[in-house]
Amino acid sequence: MLTKWMHTLIDTLVASGVRDFVISPGSRSTPLAIAAFLHPSSRTHVLVDERSASFFALGLTRTEERVRPVALICTSGTAATNYYSAVTEANIFELPLIVLTADRPHELRNVGAPQAIDQIGLYGKQVRHAFDLPLAEEASLPYVAHVAQRATLLSLTEPAGPVQINVPLREPLVPELDLLRTGRPVGVLPEPTSGVNNALTIVLQKERLLFVLGPQLAAADSQIVISYAKQAGIPVLADPLSQGRQSHDDHVFAYYDTWLKHPATAQHVRPDRIIRFGAMPTSKPYLLWSRDIPTTVVGHPGNWRDPQLHSDFVIGHARQLEHHEPVPHDPTYLNLLQQAERRVTDAFTTIDQEEMTEYNVVRALTTLQEGSLFVSNSMPIRDIDTFLPTGTPLRLLANRGANGIDGILSSALGATFDAKNR
């Protein structure tokens, strides 16, 4: 497992754009050093003195016209403290440095083991983020790949800067070598977030393409996505907290939480690619359905919204669609979703309107013509998600960060406070 673990970490760093690995020799970091050295697309540089190695790495970030992330590798203990000056310089001068600090396993921390110090958050406010990986195990491999990709993106996102990845390693420390001699080529660095994004341009050309509007997306941004989708003929699934359900357009869908529960329909409407703006939608059927569908998340790596750890990530913003010429799509796929939506709409009309049901409670809310509705967590937000149709003028709000049930009334009072009455 150690071999797959190291290969996943180093190979994903390389595929994300890291070419150079500067190694400060040490025992605990042996697997990291071997994996970096054997990767067919990497360049390794061995410098015995950690301080010199760290500043040499800073220089390597600037060997091209555009700065490129460089990885530093050191053993556990005080070796990592010698990187502090260079990390500080990288922070202030905005240079993309990725510091891989090998560490003792958790059972050898704070028990008097040799060459063991507290390395969690070692560089404090000098880094953009500090990750502490778990020990090597099969279930965590997707997370390792996620950390490598995210760390690279964080190091490059304005303002660029250093990122720490703390890597606890348990003996034996020598991995198998054959797998480590394989790997992907050095990845293309992500484009700046302004203007046209080439990565986004590529995925926008997929045939059976589906847009998803998640929570934490402003109404204006949702409207930009909806407008582009209408011109291109792309269907849009709109979470209620995206404000996308205010739209009356027939390419915007609200009842997917219901029709995705039907296995045959879910398979029938499967797209080639999902492009998601905003956080993961409320709908659990969508979560389960989308977990093996290629997905591109457009957002900021500092606020990564991919709990399934399987999406491609594009640094960007919904507003970038204004710089893209809409690519016309075959209406066949859009028609499939419209048929599914009509079937659910017809089924809902058969519900007895006199019964006290979740559907009728939500239906009553749709008679309101203006204002804000603050929705509680647990079942209320799920009922809204399931039954709220498109064309609803209400502004939908909820506390869907930590999804807690505390403070709902206070948040609702604050969100609906009229500043004019101060």
Per-residue pLDDT of the chain (422 residues; tens, 9 = 90+): 899 999 999 999 999 999 999 999 999 999 999 999 999 999 999 999 999 999 999 999 998 888 999 999 999 989 999 999 999 999 999 999 999 999 988 887 878 777 778 899 999 999 999 999 999 899 999 999 999 999 999 999 888 999 999 999 998 888 899 999 999 999 988 766 555 577 788 888 888 999 999 998 889 999 999 999 999 999 999 999 999 999 999 999 999 999 999 999 999 999 999 999 999 999 999 999 999 999 999 988 777 788 888 888 888 889 989 988 898 999 999 999 999 999 999 999 898 888 888 999 998 888 888 888 899 998 999 999 999 999 999 899 999 888 888 888 998 888 877 644 54
Please name every residue paired with 237 in a beta bridge, in sequence order, or none if there are none.
212, 253
Whether the upstream peptide bond of residue 393 has omega within 30° of 0, thus cis, is no
H helical segments located in 69-156: 84-93, 141-156
Decide: 261 and 236 in contact? Cβ < 8 Å: no
Q: Helix 30-38 crosses helix 2-15 at what angle (to 10 degrees)?
A: 50
SS3 34: helix
CA distance 275 to 175: 38
SS3 312: strand
* Nearest one of 133, 275, 116 to 201, comparing CA atoms: 275
SS3 233: coil
User: Which strand (E) or helix (H) includes residue 54?
Assistant: helix 50-60
CA distance 129 to 391: 41
Strand pairing report for 312-315 and 295-299? parallel
Measured over the CA atoms of residue 272, residue 276, residue 280 and residue 283, the dihedral's sign is: negative
How high is the pLDDT of residue 419?
45
CA distance 167 to 227: 45
Those residues with Cβ within 8 angstroms of residue 234's Cβ, 6 or more apart along the chain or in another chain: 209, 210, 211, 228, 251, 329, 334
User: 408: buried, middle or exposed (CB in 10 Å: 19+, 13-18, 0-12)?
Assistant: middle
Strand pairing report for 236-238 and 20-23? unpaired
For residue 299, the 8-state DSSP code is: E
Q: CATH 3.40.50.1220 residue ranges in the chain?
A: 198-348
CA distance 356 to 361: 7
Strand pairing report for 372-374 and 312-315? unpaired
Would you give the end-to-end CA distance of the chain in angstroms? 62
Task: Note the CATH architecture for domain 198-348.
Answer: 3-Layer(aba) Sandwich (3.40)
Q: CATH 3.40.50.970 residue ranges in the chain?
A: 2-181
Which residue in the block uniquely carries the two structure tokens 């948040």?
A: 411
CA distance 317 to 319: 5
User: 280: buried, middle or exposed (CB in 10 Å: 19+, 13-18, 0-12)?
Assistant: buried
| CATH superfamily of the domain spanning 2-181 | Thiamin diphosphate (ThDP)-binding fold, Pyr/PP domains (3.40.50.970)
* Nearest one of 216, 301, 225, 287 to 257, comparing CA atoms: 287
User: Which strand (E) or helix (H) includes residue 224?
Assistant: helix 219-232
Decide: 254 and 245 in contact? Cβ < 8 Å: yes
How high is the pLDDT of residue 420?
47
How high is the pLDDT of residue 192?
60
Instruction: Please report the beta strands in 176-241, taking only residues with DSSP state E, as ranges in sequence order.
Output: 209-213, 236-238
SS3 226: helix
SS3 content of the chain, % helix, strand, coil (to 5): 40, 15, 45
CA distance 103 to 111: 14
Whether the upstream peptide bond of residue 159 has omega within 30° of 0, thus cis, is yes
How high is the pLDDT of residue 109?
80
How high is the pLDDT of residue 309?
84
How high is the pLDDT of residue 196?
57
